[in-house]
Amino acid sequence: MMMLNQTENLDDSCDQIRQTIRILNITIPLIWVVLGTVTNGLSLVVFSRKSMRHNSTFFYLYLMTLSDFIVIWVGSFRDFLAYKFHVYISGTLICRLHVFTFFVSCQLSSWLLTVANLDRFFSVLSFSKSKKWCNRKVASKIFIILFVSLALINAHFLVFLSSEESSDPSALEHNINPIVYPHCKTSPGFYTYFYANYYSWIDSFVFSFVPFFIMLICNIGLVAKVFRSKQNLNRHGLRTAQMRRESSKKSFKDKELDKMRYMALTIIGVTLLFIVFTVPINIYNPIMHAEAVSNPEKKMKKCDDLIFCILNNTVNANHSTSFFIYLTTNSKFKKEIKIMLKRAKHAMFGNFSFVCCGFKLMQSGPPKQAKNLDASITSTLMNTFEYTKEKSTNNKACVLESHEMQKISCGV
């Protein structure tokens, strides 16, 4: 009787956990899809603007944002469809392409952030050498190398995945992920063992651990260099008393230091976001896969794994929220956003007015700059007219005066 009660309590607990997982996997992925689409879309537009697209660091961030955009729709939207409508990825070809695209996009996003760190680090370390290595042309070549390398690392998904059940009941078989890819299975035998025990760790190192180590070194170097530059600037008195008297504007050195500091803050902020959101799941995933293969009976005893649900939704936040780091840490990015919003506002409401019940509720005419220009032109024309009129009057007076003088001289 006691065993029966324990079983019922366990079933009730599992039902509650499964319901919690379902609610989380319906609401949170949908939030990431909507938020990620808007924020990544805005970031793509800003990074592609003329004032930013020639900067190699912004070019890397542009490509990283594009990868994040793909991850959101391939990953978070997949989770939403699975838990809301029970629509799963199935079919051998679809499984292979979808899993391959998801893994490559995730890893590419992290490595593009890594090379953005390296780009910023070397440009700060040596300004003369940065012109040779930190430019758009070199960045394009590095991107191609990264993409090809990651595609080769993940090419096994295009060969060894299948949605078909094995004909041998004793064969070792495993889902790529029993929660989000229940119909995508690894080829039975050696590949299943390789994927669960080795590749899951390889993916964690490629996606998170190695980029984390490189970013950590770069960020320490960036912070040290910015701090040292600030100290040197203050110590040697590059802002002279004469410059202070002549203008309150910052010197060229100050502006360069501010620019370097803002870029460093942007890279450091995005890196911290990456570390917090990605490292936990990349520690948990290999353990989960190894346990699922070594103990097949325990596969479903975690009530569909609440821990994985939380970590999976957390890692997707990394691909949706970088926009807010750019906005708060980079003045150039913020400036471009303001310009875009002003232009959009003027395009939508610039010549629109609405009158109701005799009251003018809204009237947005031409921009202030255009109004000032019109006023200036009108004022100039009026002054010219007055000057011409006055000159004409003076000329007439002179003619009359001359005529009178002639009369007097002739004795008239």
Residues 134-170: tens digit of each pLDDT? 899 999 999 999 999 999 999 999 999 998 776 655 5
In a domain, residue 351? The reply is no
What pTM, to 2 d.p., does this model score?
Answer: 0.77
Is there a contact between 304 and 18 (Cβ–Cβ < 8 Å)? yes
CA distances from 115 to 59, 122, 146, 390, 401 (A): 11, 10, 10, 71, 86
Query: What DSSP string runs through 266-327?
Result: HHHHHHHHHHHHHHHHHHHHHHHHHHHHH-GGGTTTTTTTHHHHHHHHHHHHTTTSHHHHHH
Q: How many domains in the chain?
A: 1
**Looking at residue 313, what is its pLDDT?**
92
In a domain, residue 162? The reply is yes
Tell me which residue range forms the domain holding 315: 15-238+249-329
Please give the residue that has the higher pLDDT: either 291 or 166: 291
Confidence of residue 286 (pLDDT cuts 50, 70, 90): confident
Of 88, 65, 72, the residue nearest 29 (C-alpha): 72
In a domain, residue 69? The reply is yes
In a domain, residue 48? The reply is yes
Q: Which of 258-262, 373-377, 384-388 has the highest mean pLDDT?
A: 258-262
Of 219, 208, 216, the residue nearest 110 (C-alpha): 208
In a domain, residue 111? The reply is yes
Three-class SS state of 359? strand
Residue 165 carries which DSSP code? P
The CATH number for 89's domain is 1.20.1070.10
> Average pLDDT for residues 355-361, to the nearest whole number?
45
In a domain, residue 352? The reply is no
In a domain, residue 408? The reply is no
In a domain, residue 275? The reply is yes
Place of tokens 């008393």: 241
Q: And the tokens for 40?
A: 């990544």
Is there a contact between 88 and 54 (Cβ–Cβ < 8 Å)? no
